[in-house]
Structure 1
Amino acid sequence: MNKQTHVIFIGLLALVIGFGGGYLIRDQRTPGIGNHMMPDGSMMSQNIDQHFIVQMIPHHEGAIAMAEIALERSKRPEIISLANGIIEAQQKEIIDMQSWYQSWFGSAPPQGGMGMMHMGGMEGDTAVLASIPAAEFDREFIEQMIPHHEMAIMMAQMLQASTERAEMKQLGDNIITSQSREIQQMANWLTTWASQ
């Protein structure tokens, strides 16, 4: 297991514990998140939604940063179209999550949450994308974006299994549907390009 994979695994484990283990890991920078349980041991829906938003906003921000580099560096129209789609969809989802957080929890989402992009694994990826030789960029972008999308899908599946808010269920469904489709597109491109 390389360093990046190890970091992502630790982050996912924290999420699994948070959503499925009956409690949330308390982040001192994130007031109100952690250790609240219903009498039957289930998570309070509020904390599930709160924790997910704190995780997903920086994760989306990371995808947007990667997509913005793709707009600058890629020459393939399909990559440019994908990058524009990622930016548009995920910026809207960030705005929605920020608005919901303010409405439901009475404050703006905390900056520098425990999302995957802030755990030391993905910041280095944007540096690689910015500096890798042009001929290698598109493959590197896809090989980074596919696992990034897979992580978001896993997080969204955990959310759907636990949340009671219709808005969050719809958000989870949107993430799973759109990012699964994009993963398939990217995998198909890699196969096509390898045969050229």
Structure 2
Amino acid sequence: MKKTTSHALAASALILLLAGCAGNPTGSSMSGMDHGAMPTGSATASSNHNAADTMFAQMMIVHHRQAVSMSDTVLAAPGIDSRVTGLAQRIKAAQDPEIEKMKTMLGTWGEPETMSGSMSMPGMLDESQLAELAGANGVEAAKLFLSQMIAHHQGAVESAKTELRTGSNPEAVQLAKDIIGAQQGEIDEMRLLLAGL
């Protein structure tokens, strides 16, 4: 009788031990549980988003692409002040990687890169404004680029501030903060450049 009871207790202890190991693959208590949960936690955090995050990324990709295109246009124009071409190169260098980052975020979320339907984003140039920039050169092109890009950046800052108020994904919210900081600095720089041309 005692032997049977001992065997039953040992079996129960073994079952409890195995159940504990299954719940915690690392076999350790506190730190093991934290490390074991990290990959799942990270994946959940990165894919956790709302409609505002999706719209922000989709719209900002389009917005950034136009800024890169505007920069290419002024870089190809003759007689542009070197301070303006330097700024255009920096805008391209900053915004190309951000486009890739937003495309990756949307892919992680299972969202398309382009939005269904049409929504205009603040600061976007229309075809006639882009054509005007493409047809200009020298000081005229530099001034036009700066004035258009100031308005363009202001639109991006406005959209990024909306993301801060309404977004939920930490990575998207951080990107919005980065955009506000970088582009507000460039707006200030462009205003000074414009005044000096």
TM-score relative to the length of structure 1? 0.68
How much does 1:80 deviate? 1.1
Partner of residue 142 from structure 1, selected from 134, 146, 151:
146
Q: Once superposed, what is the RMSD of the aligned Cα atoms?
A: 2.5
Q: Does 1:131 align with 2:135?
A: yes
Distance 1:187 1:72, change over 3 A: same
Distance 1:112 1:123, change over 3 A: farther
Distance 1:123 1:84, change over 3 A: same
Partner of residue 81 from structure 2, selected from 67, 71, 76:
76
State the identity %: 30
Q: Does 1:163 align with 2:147?
A: no
SS at match of 2:168: coil
Q: Does 1:188 align with 2:192?
A: yes
Distance 1:192 1:133, change over 3 A: closer
Extract unaligned runs of 5+ from structure 1. 1-43
More helix by share: 2
Give, in whole Å, the separation in 2 of the partners of 1:63 and 1:99: 20
TM-score relative to the length of structure 2? 0.68
SS at match of 2:114: coil
Give, in whole Å, the separation in 2 of the partners of 1:152 and 1:55: 9
Distance 1:53 1:166, change over 3 A: same
Distance 1:112 1:66, change over 3 A: farther
Give, in whole Å, the separation in 2 of the partners of 1:82 and 1:188: 12
**Alignment-mate amino acid for residue 138 of structure 1:** A
Extract unaligned runs of 5+ from structure 2. 1-47
